Structure 1
Amino acid sequence: MEELKQRILAEATVLSHDVLKLDALLNQQVDPQLTMRMGQEFAELYRSEQITRVVTVESSGIPVAFATAYELGVPLVFARRKKTLLADPDALVERVPSFTKGIVTDIVLSQQFITAEDRILFIDDIIANGDAARGLVKIIQRSGATLVGVGIVIEKSFQNGAQSIREQGIRLDSLVKIASLDEGKITFA
């Protein structure tokens, strides 16, 4: 997605050889028109797959997942990063480390919103090490639903997260692949 590449070059900040700050695009500010175009891209990739639900992890994946669900005409379900007092006592939970937050969190998805009959498209903003993605994949698999594929806005292909998902035989499509952040420069794959 050339438009997204240009926006990344213009608005992202390289913080280190493995950290890219995307607050202006995905993490704190959202461009609704660009987000809807990203959703359209994912919807086109998966339109023939009879998707019944789009799933993501809160919070930065929600806008693009919403746009994708809207384009596909299906519900969006998001996993929370912590249990609340109102959480489903039978919720599916997976403990995962967060590289950018430097902590371990629980990913929680209510069984009320995902069934064995569902065909799931998992959408997320970024994949680097892939801990959160692997956690949500495990939850989807435990639910009995069919994981049709994973759509990632930005794949850091120099880290092993996307590859670890693909090695499980799961389809993973990225809108943009970043090959390197070395010397403070963004290099696309």
Structure 2
Amino acid sequence: MKELEERIVQQGTVKPGNVLKVDAFLNHQCDVELFDHMGAAWAEHFKGKTIDKILTIEASGIGIACVVARHFGNVPVVFAKKAQSINLDGDQYTTTVYSFTKQKEFPVIVSKRYLNEGDHVLLIDDFLANGKALKGLIELCHEAGATVEGIGIAVEKGFQGGGDQLREEGYDVDSLAIVESMDPENGTIEFRS
């Protein structure tokens, strides 16, 4: 998606350690109009597939997922929580994932009331690096008996291989911007064509 790539080049910052900071428009301050355009792009890509639920992981994916849901008939958005709380009651699906950004493992939890057998799920997230978070969400879907119909990613760091691995496993991954390389020394970012 050219619009997203242009925003990354204009407002993104490449940091040491393969970190791409896009908090000016994607995951701290949110550009809702951009999210709407992203939703339209995913609606076009996944048209013809039954999508009756969107699943993401807290926190950065929530805003994007809520706007995207409008393009899929206002389907419910469920987000996996990263910590147990007193508000989480009843039976739950739980797994553990490693976060590249946070450099640690954390639990991901979804109430069994909100992820069900027969659901047709679109996974949405802001970033895809090594794919660990998405594999955790996929595991929760499989445990529930839900079908993962597709995966929508705003920014994929293609050089880290997570997206390619998910595609090899047969998942329909639509990343709107795939960063092929980035250099913190001079701030350059190259996209996959």
Matches within 5 A, 1:22-61: 22-61=22-61
**2:35/2:68 contact within 8 Å kept:** no
Aligned residue for 1:156?
157
Question: Which secondary structure does the structure 2 equivalent of 1:54 belong to?
Answer: strand
Question: Which secondary structure does the structure 2 equivalent of 1:84 belong to?
Answer: coil
Q: What do residues 34-56 of structure 1 show as CA deviations (whole Å, max 9, x unaligned)?
A: 11111111112113111110111
**2:9/2:189 contact within 8 Å kept:** yes
- Structure 1 position 87 matched with structure 2 position 93: no
Matches within 5 A, 1:7-156: 7-16=7-16, 18-73=18-73, 74-156=75-157
Question: Which secondary structure does the structure 2 equivalent of 1:48 belong to?
Answer: coil
5+ long unaligned stretches in structure 1: none
Question: Which secondary structure does the structure 1 equivalent of 2:102 belong to?
Answer: coil
Give the distance between the partners of 2:106 and 2:85, measured in 1 at CA. 13
Single out whichever of 170-179 and 42-51 deviates more from structure 2.
Answer: 42-51
Question: Which secondary structure does the structure 2 equivalent of 1:88 belong to?
Answer: coil
5+ long unaligned stretches in structure 2: none
Give the distance between the partners of 1:10 and 1:118, measured in 2 at CA. 39
- C-alpha deviation, 1:114, in angstroms: 1.3
Cα root mean square deviation, aligned: 1.2
**1:98/1:131 contact within 8 Å kept:** yes
- Structure 1 position 185 matched with structure 2 position 192: no
Q: What do residues 134-169 of structure 1 show as CA deviations (whole Å, max 9, x unaligned)?
A: 111111111100111111111111002112212221
Counterpart residue identity of residue 150, structure 2 = G
TM-score normalised to structure 1 length = 0.96
Question: Which secondary structure does the structure 2 equivalent of 1:81 belong to?
Answer: coil
Give the distance between the partners of 1:41 and 1:62, measured in 2 at CA. 18
Matches within 5 A, 1:160-175: 160-175=161-176
Counterpart residue identity of residue 177, structure 1 = I
Q: What do residues 85-106 of structure 1 show as CA deviations (whole Å, max 9, x unaligned)?
A: 1213421111111121122111
Q: Percent identity?
A: 41
Question: Which secondary structure does the structure 1 equivalent of 2:113 belong to?
Answer: helix
Give runs of ≥4 in structure 1 deviating > 4 Å. Answer: none
Q: What do residues 91-128 of structure 1 show as CA deviations (whole Å, max 9, x unaligned)?
A: 11111111211221111111101111110000111100
Counterpart residue identity of residue 58, structure 2 = E
TM-score normalised to structure 2 length = 0.94
